[in-house]
Structure 1
């Protein structure tokens, strides 16, 4: 027992230097072919890596722009079917491929992805087809961490925040996914660049927190913690179903919630 536990501890210590790898599994799924009308954009990160972005456009004039951050296990083109109801309802949706996914260069890392997201948001709000309309940020699962980060860092550029199936912190989620006996050790060993449950308390824009009460990947109590920590105008929408499947299972209800949030948001003329 002691020997086996020591081996386990040693393995965890060795994996600590690549903690980001837990959240960025390799995606071997084939690309979706039908991804609607879009503009492909390449931005250069601070370390020189080329990061690929997509701006999906509705058939009619868009009413707002949503910067959507997908879960960590797939390329944007495989996530399009999830955000398609937003595009169909008249939203312009901007997404980025995380480092190492799709045509984006580099290796995914929590801090670097956060920097890429900040860089992309600055670019996005500077576009003439974005600057005169509201900008919302949406994050699903891992993407909720990034959405909370950019909304906290750039609250003056964002009008509203939406998270779905996101977790309170990287270490909380890693611990939840591990055997109970090593959970305290995981929290003690691993460091993280930011903690979403802390950042969300300082965000002052309206927000919608969506989470399935029978989510088997990220427990519902994490959504309750995020909601309790938030101090702005907020709503917790409890749904049922699989992890981050709200836009697929409940598209009309989801769109109605987003439209309601849009009405609460205040477009900043100074942007």
Structure 2
């Protein structure tokens, strides 16, 4: 009996340590400037937006040479580093006539505060309003592009955004349906049965995109996932797609890893995506 109690206690400790580890892995910010845009030939407008609680977040706006832009793309980046490493994955679209807005969650880069799920959710609502109002002023459509954790954050926040006027498309790249689901997939890779199911049962799951993804229509949802994604496994993306409603589209990128399919705009997938964006913008003009 005592041996069983010790085993259960040790097992409980292992689960607790893993849950704490997963929670801390959710946000991995860095203050480092990884790729200064000026060194890559870009000169974005850099602004600070003050949130309702007084915390200011850092925003970069990349404008194309063409005026007005075809559309404005709002990027929600992944969980690691900060926007100075993530903007490079989408900045090639600026050369194709699109405006790119990227921002750092609180606690990332030069944004103030500490990362917190609810605070970042509330900040996201304010950033979405900023992007919508900017696009409306410029009389262009706007697009939300969420990457990995950023896909989960943005899709869930859009569920609480009442007025999405002008929003043309929501992209989820290498993202997932629930926090507990992605934690389970990590546990399944690292540990033995049934730890994954225990993690799924106990991992904090609030503000997951599965709560509101079905409420996006009539706005289009575009999900894309690499079949060889070792960070957010492919079934996580499929689960989110299954919970969504039409209009929706899913691109399965065979052999691709975690958000590497665009190839900085040089891959065939990137060219196909650009054609899709251009056709969507052309078919859905904003009334002048």
Please give the range of the TM-score, normalised by the shorter of the 2 chains. 0.7 to 0.9
Within 5 Å, which residues of 2 pair with 1:20-169? 20-27=23-30, 31-34=34-37, 36-61=42-67, 62-127=69-134, 130-154=137-161, 156-157=164-165, 158-169=167-178
User: Which ranges in structure 2 are unaligned for 5 or more consecutive residues?
Assistant: none
TM-score normalised according to structure 2 size: 0.83
Off by >6 Å, runs of 4+ in structure 1: none
Report the Cα offset of residue 234 of structure 1.
Answer: 1.3
Q: Deviations over 1:8-31 (max 9, x none)?
A: 523543675786422112437652
- 8 Å CA contact 2:71–2:98 kept in 1: the answer is yes
Question: C-alpha displacement at 1:193, in angstroms?
Answer: 2.5
**RMSD over equivalenced CA pairs, Å:** 2.6
The structure number with the bigger radius of gyration is: 2
Q: Deviations over 1:152-176 (max 9, x none)?
A: 2225242211111001111111111
Matched position secondary structure for 1:52: strand
Deviation at 1:51, TM superposition (A): 0.8
Query: What is aligned with 1:256?
Result: 275
Q: Which runs of 5+ in 1 are unaligned?
A: none
Tell me the distance in 1 between the aligned counterparts of 2:283 and 2:248. 10
CA contact (8 A) 1:137 1:151 kept: no
Conserved 8 A contact 2:62-2:101: yes
Cα deviation, 1:55-96, whole Å, max 9, x if unaligned, reads: 111122211101111111021111121012221211111111
Task: Check the 8 A contact 1:134/1:159 in 2, yes or no.
Answer: yes
**Counterpart residue number, 1:235:** 249
Change (3 A) 1:264 1:12: farther
1:39 Cα offset (Å): 1.0
3-state SS, counterpart of residue 185 of structure 1: helix
Whether the 8 Å CA contact 2:183–2:203 is kept in 1: the answer is no
Contact kept in structure 1, 2:151 and 2:172, CA below 8 Å = yes
Output one character per residue of 1:214-261: Cα deviation in whole Å (capped at 9) or x when no partner.
212212222222222221211111113120112224321222233344
Rounded Cα–Cα distance in structure 1 between residues aligned with 2:71 and 2:142: 6
Residue 7 (structure 1) shift: 3.4
Range with greater deviation from structure 2 (162-171 or 233-242):
233-242
| CA spacing shift, 1:228–1:264, aligned 2, 3 Å | farther
